[in-house]
Amino acid sequence: MDVTTLIATLQETVPRAQIESARSVDLQQTIYIPRDDTPAIMRTLRDRDDLAYAFLAELSASDFWPTEPRFEVMYMLVSFAHRSRLRVKVRLHGNDAHIATVSDVWPAANWLEREVWDLFGIAFDGHPDPRRLLMPEDWEGYPLRKDYPVQIRKGAQYVEPLQVTAEEFRESVARDRLTRR
């Protein structure tokens, strides 16, 4: 299906959505969709038999600071039934960087959304587990943002190693051997 037909099909399902085609250097079919219509459009892409984008291959983001809209969230979808790939992009302003989760559409989005939140600070509304994934829990800021300070000075944090005596170590090894039998 060509991109024009795809856009027409999506606008039948979500008539108010302003969907537009995007140029792509790699000749990958690419469309821009509005943030507010993302869940409905993504369900349509997955559920319609003539589209059948059943696999979310990648979810990432880009920061175009200082321009606005600052962020783009990118979804790479695959339709095995039709042997096609589609890149879906959503523009987000820097002062309003949030979008609805698609983890209920594609469960694989769960960790990918956490990664984007952790590194870019883009929130995914309704995400079931919005914790940091890659950075330590006490990390401040989002390291893939272009305005993130590169020369940050943060002391290493560690926990003292557990000190055991030789006798305690032997007892622990003996207990482990007994529980394996």
d(CA 154, CA 38): 38
Query: What domain range is 65 assigned to?
Result: 3-180
Contacting residues for 120 by C-beta, under 8 A, at least 6 apart? 61, 63, 71, 97, 142, 144, 145
The pLDDT of 151-177, averaged and rounded, is 76
| 170/155: higher pLDDT | 170
Tally the domains of the chain: 1
- Inter-CA distances, 164 with 45, 68, 172, Å: 58, 57, 10
Place of tokens 């000749």: 27
What's the CATH code of the domain at 38? 3.30.460.80
d(CA 53, CA 43): 9
Is the whole model's pTM more than 0.75, yes or no?
Answer: yes
- Per the CB < 8 A criterion, the answer to whether 94 and 71 are in contact is yes
Cα-Cα-Cα-Cα dihedral of 19, 21, 22, 25, to 10°? 150
For 99-136, the pLDDT digits (tens) are 999 999 999 999 999 999 999 999 999 999 988 889 98
